[in-house]
Amino acid sequence: MKILTTKFLTKHNTAPFSKIKIEDYAPAITKGIELTRAEIDEIVNNPDKPTFENTIEALEFSGQTLDRITSIFFNLNSAETSDKMQKIAQEVTPMLTELSNDITLNTALFERIKSVYQQKESLNLNTEQAMLLDKKYKNFSRNGALLAEDKKARLREIDTELAKLKLTFGENVLAETNAYQLHITNEADLKGLPEGTIEAARSLAKSKEKEGWIFTLDVPSYLPFVTYAENRELRKELAIAYGKKAFQNNEFDNKQNILKIANLRHERANLLGYKTHADFVLEERMAQNPEKVNSFLNDLLSKAKPAAEREFKQLTDFAKNLDSIDHLEKWDSSYYSEKLKQELFNLDDEKLKPYFKLQNVQNGAFTIANKLFGLTFTEVFDIDKYHEDVHTFEVSDASGNLVAIFYSDFFPRKGKRNGAWMTSFKPQFVKEGVNERPHVSIVCNFTKPTETKPSLLTFNEVTTLFHEFGHALHGMLADTTYPSLSGTSVYWDFVELPSQVMENWCYEPEALALFAHHYETGEIIPQEFVNKIKESASFLEGMATLRQLSFGLLDMAFHGKNPSDIKDVKVFEKATMEDTALYPDVAENCMSVSFSHIFQGGYSSGYYSYKWAEVLDADAFSYFQEKGIFNKEVADKFKDNVLSKGGTDHPMTLYKKFRGQEPKPEALLKRAGLI
């Protein structure tokens, strides 16, 4: 336990992963809670009149030991979990929720905050201090500080139950992902699959001491199978297995869990004086309210749907002509899309993959960050890591000063959830004159190297790496005083701007020349391939937009109205997605029960922000294109006004300081080929 509760005697104060035992976590978290309570008591019992320093700043810097322990624990619970870790998570989560409630519902503490808030006009605060004061006051007033005692008690019950339900939801999805495997023993069933995919499946079977080939629901195994396998029945089997995770009426079923989550969120919002959970959430977003979000989504839907329907007809006709398929099903989607792309553009992901060796792509992201922001990434081997697949880097600026510690973790494994994300083990902040630098991590699930090939990425995986790296830059370049306003601690519908804008460099010949080299010959990616990547960038974009909008509308349907009428999750989902559906429904499948973004992550009432941020990123990148994609002046403006500022000012203010104007949606519609 002591290892977690005392100062880390490590290089750059990094987490000493190899010295932490699983049994250290629970007692360390208990100790961290005790220390936090003592710090809160000290603020509350301070005999001096409440001031910004002795109340707001003191509260901001309280709980740092606990924050450090919990960030390590919960990050590993996503990237390197086990039954023991999950058991501890279920044990400590109610304790942490109770502490959070004890702080926000502490009347004496709120009185001190309110006292400072009421004199804010006369305090001569700078922009960041004013934002911190506003956020602290709202965090209390929006989360129950103004409630009567009986309502506070109910709020505590709701928060505890929600925290447990979200954990259980995620554990169920992971358990269902791990439980399934498609074991193939007939080589003919592999027809169409890329050599690398076959080799990876063979290695997996060998590791399980089985003959043949094993495919799983992990994305690097699942996606190539449904994209390339000619055996339609096996594509169907795998796709249905993927779509019915946590929807099988077994111990891992999530139907009741998500209904409980949606209803508890609604009750909580009502308790706090809001009409719905979406009204509560969106009050602190750029979009402001559910009406604006629904209007935004439906406006995009009206523009994208005609294009999507044309594309779907084109895909349907193509499949009929090629293979006499009368009705396209969901398990045909990736397969015929890929075939059509090959025919239209003569562009095959398998032709591109040799040019996207993982290490080269990562180095390309580093080089681009150097050209834009003057950062240098140096791999180091004396910083502890939590798994052998993890790589560690020191990030420095042009003067050689340490900017951040960066961890990358790229391959699937049993204890890691699916998907890709950025997170941090330590935020950036300034305390006692010292600018503490952040420890940032990106976690992905890419194809592992095999006996004969390094890890080679699909183009989609290349953009995923750049996306998460954009989030990482937001964390690494943070330069604020307060940790709760640092890095990615911004309005949720602004957080995707740095990540999505970085994806644009993947399509630029000047950028691709830096890293897209053939892994065997070293040859730079041919210009014709680059042209085709750019040409195909808006391929089936109408359908892709419709898919994203369907998720945003489903999120708003769960959270933007009273969910107590939802009796059957599947029926509700089907009705909600009717306007965006192109393929026939699959009775055995339900997307909501594994919709981790909104039921486990932080995207409830916020899934629309991917599309919202696309408007920002297309507009922002058009500025780079005007001036040159490595233009230092534009890059400095982006760094100084967006990346380094975190949540210290309103996002639109920051954006306008960078761009000189509000974003215009035309750039997105043009890029997507919708106008």
Q: Which residues contact 244 (CB under 8 A, 6 or more apart)?
A: 588, 589, 590
468 is catalytic: yes
pLDDT at 409: 98
pLDDT in tens, 579-634: 999 999 999 999 999 999 999 989 999 999 999 999 999 999 999 999 999 999 99
pLDDT at 669: 80
Q: How far is CA 253 from the centre of its chain?
A: 24
Half-sphere exposure of 517 (CA within 13 A, CB side): 13
pLDDT at 667: 83
Exposure pattern of 21-45 as b/e (b: 16+ CB <10 Å)? eeebbbebbbbbbeebbebbeebbe
SS3 state of residue 60: helix
Question: Using an 8 Å Cβ cutoff, are 594 and 554 in contact?
Answer: no
For the chain, domains (ranges, CATH) are 2-146 (1.20.1050.40), 180-232 (no CATH), 255-345+541-606 (1.10.1370.10), 354-529+610-671 (1.10.1370.40)
Query: Largest Cα–Cα distance of the chain, in whole Å?
Result: 82
Q: Is 251 exposed, middle or buried (0-12, 13-18, 19+ CB in 10 A)?
A: exposed
**Which region holds residue 628: left if phi is over 0, alpha if psi is between -120 and 50, else beta?**
left
Question: Using an 8 Å Cβ cutoff, are 356 and 462 in contact?
Answer: yes
Amino acid residing at 413: R
pLDDT at 230: 98
468, 496, 541, 614: the catalytic one is 468
Cα–Cα distances in angstroms (integers) from residue 163 to residues 89, 98, 292, in the given order: 10, 10, 29
Strand ranges for 72-212 from DSSP E? 182-184
pLDDT at 247: 98
Collect the ranges in the chain with pLDDT lower than 70. none
pLDDT in tens, 200-250: 999 999 999 999 999 999 999 999 999 999 999 999 999 999 999 999 999
Any idea which residue has 């979406």 for tokens?
A: 278
Cα–Cα distances in angstroms (integers) from residue 61 to residues 48, 232, 436, 656, in the given order: 18, 57, 13, 31
- Name the token pair of 493: 């519908």
pLDDT at 2: 84
